[in-house]
Amino acid sequence: MKFNPFVTSDRSKNRKWHFNAPSHIRKKIMSPPPPLFKELRQKYNVRSMPIRKDDKVQVVRGHYKGQQIDKVVQVYRKKYVIYIERV
């Protein structure tokens, strides 16, 4: 059910908005959905924050998922891609 009459729920319009979004909005879209580690959550009092170069991340989906925590080498907002060390 749609609550806000000023926001569209049309799939094609939402896809257009997503792929034509400017860089400062892509930064917000690329904020990692999994929650932060408990220490960081308590330190910064937030559940998620935008990803940056030199952040430490853990892969949770796909072939490289596992317990190893690696460093972000590059965040390529134009392609919605994050490059991780040793992956």
pLDDT digits (tens, 9 = 90+) for 29-78: 998 777 788 888 899 898 888 899 999 888 888 898 887 889 999 999 99
pLDDT value of residue 23: 95
Residue 82 CB neighbour total at 10 angstroms = 19
Is residue 2 in some structural domain? no
Residue 62 belongs to domain with CATH number: 2.30.30.30
pLDDT value of residue 67: 75
Decide: 54 and 72 in contact? Cβ < 8 Å. yes
pLDDT value of residue 61: 85
Is residue 32 in some structural domain? yes
pLDDT value of residue 17: 96
pLDDT value of residue 83: 94
In total, how many domains does the chain have?
1
What are the φ/ψ torsions at residue 24 (nearest 5 degrees)? Answer: -70, -25
42: domain range? 11-84
pLDDT value of residue 59: 87
Give the DSSP per-residue string, 15-81.
Answer: HHHHHT--HHHHHHHTS-SSPPPHHHHHHH--S-----TT-EEE--SSTT-SS-EEEEEEEEGGGTE
